[in-house]
Amino acid sequence: DTEVTQTPKHLVMGMTNKKSLKCEQHMGHRAMYWYKQKAKKPPELMFVYSYEKLSINESVPSRFSPECPNSSLLNLHLHALQPEDSALYLCASSQDGTGLRGNTIYFGEGSWLTVV
Amino acid sequence: DQQVKQNSPSLSVQEGRISILNCDYTNSMFDYFLWYKKYPAEGPTFLISISSIKDKNEDGRFTVFLNKSAKHLSLHIVPSQPGDSAVYFCAASGSGNTPLVFGKGTRLSVIA
């Protein structure tokens, strides 16, 4: 079973709203990721959590705030977003949290975010 | 600077024929390579991977070939089926704690 579950599948929010994207995996993976994907582009890494600690933040604006409540859950809190933040937000996980080399990353189906 | 390149944005193949998707990389520290398939409105699905100690890995209709000296890998799908129509991303990792680096993708259309 290589399932990463994301909710909601679709989200429309105003620029002053606060919302959250949620992600869950029960594969015992110790690394979890947030990626952003725009149309016709590859996934862009935003954050990596390794053993529930933030290990990589790819210079993402502070209006995106990740949270890892436990080893199975990953949230992305959204506040004061801009229309250009509209994209597919992908959660992913991989087995080994100590090093990302040689790890297969498994993606969820994504959350489509539209900022109006 | 693009470390993983997929130079063909699109490819059309007839059903039953072989599809060959190509990927080049520049970073000699990459040692693990993956292919993902992506349908519209879905997340990428892992297809097949290869580590640098091998030059070929096969899984059913999918075979990945790695030529380290040329820094080139390819994904062969045979026979191609209409359901294979999707965007295929090549990805690579290596050099310590660096996460996956993705290519820009190749859109494969398999025509019945």
pLDDT in tens, B24-73: 999 998 989 999 999 987 899 999 999 999 999 999 999 999 999 999 99
Pick from B73, B91, B59, B86: which is nearest to B20 by CA? B73
Residue A99 has pLDDT above 60, yes or no: no
Cβ contact B32–A102 (<8 Å): yes
Q: What percentage of chain B has pLDDT greater than the value 90? A: 83
Structural tokens at position B87: 């965007």
What is the pLDDT at residue B29?
87
Contact A93, B23 (CB under 8 A): no
For residues B51 and A1, the model is more confident at: B51
Structural tokens at position A38: 């725009």
**Minimal CA separation from A9 to chain B, in Å:** 10
In chain B, which residues touch A (CB < 8 A)?
31-32, 34, 36, 41-46, 49, 51, 89, 91, 93-100, 102-105
Please state the rounded mean pLDDT for residues A81-109.
Answer: 86
Contact A11, A112 (CB under 8 A): yes
**Minimal CA separation from A115 to chain B, in Å:** 17
Q: b/e per residue, A87-104, with b = 16+ CB within 10 A? A: bbbbbbbbeebeebbebb
Please state the rounded mean pLDDT for residues A39-67.
Answer: 92
Mean pLDDT across chain A: 91
Q: Which DSSP string corresponds to B26-66?
A: --TTEEEEEEEEE-TTS--EEEEEEETT-SEEEETTEEEEE
The torsion angles phi and psi of B84, rounded to 5 degrees, stand at -80, -10
Task: Give CA–CA dist B26/B11, Å, rounded.
Answer: 23
Residue B13 has pLDDT above 90, yes or no: yes
What is the pLDDT at residue A96?
77
Structural tokens at position A116: 């109006």
Residue A6 has pLDDT above 90, yes or no: yes
Structural tokens at position B51: 């580590």
Structural tokens at position B46: 């892992």
Q: What percentage of chain B has pLDDT greater than the value 70? A: 96
Structural tokens at position A29: 């993976």
Task: Give CA–CA dist A51/A4, Å, rounded.
Answer: 17
Cβ contact B89–A101 (<8 Å): no
